[in-house]
Amino acid sequence: MPNNSAFVFTAQQGHKFLLSTSTARERIAKLRRLRSTIESYEQRLYEALKKDLRKNEFEAAVSEVIFIYGEINHAIRHLTGWMKPRRAGKAITNIFAKNRIYYQPKGVCLIISPWNYPFQLLMSPLVSAIAAGNCVILKPSELSPATSTVMASLIEDCFDQQEVCCFEGGAEVASELLQLPFDHIFFTGSTAIGKIVMEAAAKSLASVTLELGGKSPVVIHTSADLKKTAEKIAWGKLINAGQTCIAPDYVLIPEHMMEIFAGHYISAAEALFCSGSAAPDLDVYAKIINERHFKRLCELITDATAKGAELVYGGLAQAETLTISPAILLNPSLDSALMQEEIFGPLLPVVPYKNLTEAVALINAKSKPLALYIFSKDAAVTKQIIRDTSSGGICVNDVLVHISNPKLPFGGVGTSGMGSCHGHYGFKAFSHERSVVFQSGPNLTRLIYPPYRTKQWVLKLLKKLF
């Protein structure tokens, strides 16, 4: 285990200047060492993820570990190019100059990760921070303790603590870390805690990347293939038992299609996660993380049905296994907690709409979501929804998959977050883009030096040029 946070932070502050001069070859070597260490810990990670969330090993491999191998490999392939100074265009004020943008590490960075994808959401920003040449302190979630312990051992085996260090513990550890004047803070979690992180960062004017959440809607148009649509939504909603920040939160659908969609969704949920029956297959269906969240989800069902929602399927709760079966609720009241809070569980509300204008208005009445999903074969309809709404990202005729492409920026907007991550965008999040002007040739700026009384012609010229 590392020493106290202040000691490690001071050590990293002293080391960051040396690390900032590291070459692409040196950073790539660290990324390869991280990949090799993860490979040696892979089975321990699967066992920990099963203990914390009852994740099936195949699901854990695809959504957590292999995802990170992809991030590392992408960074290794492209890092030399990312680090090269980038050319910038000239302006009339420096027409003879050479303009470049250099990427400089931000320094000592703090990464705070959540419990729902405990390995992926800690390691993904770490890969970017290492690629950018930073020192890093990691704080995994205490709600996934088995995975946190394995990751702490992994980091200790892979890095000297003056470069990368992992601190386990509860909210008190996070609070202690947030008192330190980091150069950058990367936080993934709830909007409420994101505000606390941003407030703490403001004290030292640290930059922040906030990956938050929100109610990510699905809009189904009349042109959609309902059976295929339902299967994709069932997978995206029910993987990790709905505990995914970009899971489809609620569905907006034309009134006459609602019950047909519900039937297809039930069939898909049973085929994918229930071995063809109504009861979840516990070998492939994750558990709710803890008793508090289990009770919260049960209360959402109770409140929604009391306010008129029709629970047409599922929602059976098993406290001893922290399992809630896939549920679908039709016509929920927009005032119910189910439609006001991010669900973060296997409950799918389905809201009918009369026309597209109404559907868009329902989306825009809420905070900007982290993701928006559109199912439509009508290109004009798709363009209209993209134009008239705002969200972190969009998938058309699919769910979740936009997060898997490291060539795309991933991030929220408004209450769903700020800043982007993955690939080059993650590298830039942990870098300062530094403008450098190499001046040469005639000193044209002398035209604006004093004395000014004979320079009126210069103002006229500048007005024309600018």
pLDDT tens digit string along 161-185?
999 999 999 999 999 999 999 999 9
Q: Which CATH architecture has domain 217-404?
A: 3-Layer(aba) Sandwich (3.40)
* 8 Å CB contact between 30 and 85: no
- Numbered ranges of CATH 3.40.605.10 in the chain: 5-212+413-434
Alpha helices in 217-290 (DSSP H): 226-238, 258-273
* 8 Å CB contact between 329 and 300: no
Active site residues: 211, 245
Q: In DSSP terms, which residues pair with 164 in a beta bridge?
A: 136
460 pLDDT above the threshold of 50? yes
Query: What pLDDT is stored for residue 252 in this prediction?
Result: 98
pTM above 0.85, yes or no: yes
Q: Is the peptide bond preceding residue 451 cis, with omega within 30 degrees of 0?
A: yes
Query: Cβ–Cβ contacts within 10 Å for residue 456, how many?
Result: 9
Q: How many percent of the chain have pLDDT more than 70?
A: 99
Q: How far apart are CA 254 and CA 154, in angstroms?
A: 50
**Helix or strand or coil: residue 423?**
helix
User: What phi, psi does 235 have (nearest 5°)?
Assistant: -65, -50
Tokens for 334, please give them.
């927009």
Query: What pLDDT is stored for residue 3 in this prediction?
Result: 59
Q: How far apart are CA 445 and CA 464, in angstroms?
A: 17
For residue 63, give the DSSP letter. Answer: I
User: Do the strands 347-353 and 207-211 form a parallel or antiparallel pair, or are they unpaired?
Assistant: unpaired
* pLDDT per position as a tens digit, 286-328: 999 999 999 999 999 999 999 999 999 999 999 999 999 999 9
Across 108-125, average pLDDT: 98
* 8 Å CB contact between 255 and 356: no
Query: What pLDDT is stored for residue 453 in this prediction?
Result: 84
Q: How far apart are CA 382 and CA 224, in angstroms?
A: 11
Across 217-228, average pLDDT: 98
Lowest mean pLDDT among 72-76, 181-185, 455-459: 455-459
Lowest mean pLDDT among 73-77, 293-297, 363-367, 455-459: 455-459
Spatial neighbors of 226 by CB under 8 A, at least 6 apart, are 220, 257, 260, 261, 264
Q: Which own/partner contact pairs does 283-287 have at CB distance under 8 Å and 24+ positions apart? A: 283/56, 284/56, 284/59, 285/54, 285/238, 285/241, 285/323, 286/53, 286/54, 286/55, 286/56, 286/59, 286/239, 286/240, 286/241, 286/243, 287/53, 287/54, 287/241, 287/321, 287/322, 287/323
- Numbered ranges of CATH 3.40.309.10 in the chain: 217-404
411 pLDDT above the threshold of 90? yes
Across 94-118, average pLDDT: 95
Query: Cβ–Cβ contacts within 10 Å for residue 139, how many?
Result: 23
User: Do the strands 217-220 and 250-254 form a parallel or antiparallel pair, or are they unpaired?
Assistant: parallel
Across 42-65, average pLDDT: 98
Q: How far apart are CA 448 and CA 324, in angstroms?
A: 72
Query: What pLDDT is stored for residue 191 in this prediction?
Result: 94
Has domain 5-212+413-434 been given CATH number 3.40.605.10? yes
Q: Please give the residue that has the higher pLDDT: either 223 or 279.
A: 223
348 pLDDT above the threshold of 80? yes
Across 111-126, average pLDDT: 98
1 pLDDT above the threshold of 50? no
282 pLDDT above the threshold of 90? yes
Mean pLDDT of the chain, nearest integer:
95
Query: What pLDDT is stored for residue 2 in this prediction?
Result: 57
Select from 206, 295, 194 the least CA-distant residue to 245. Answer: 194
For residue 171, give the DSSP letter. Answer: H
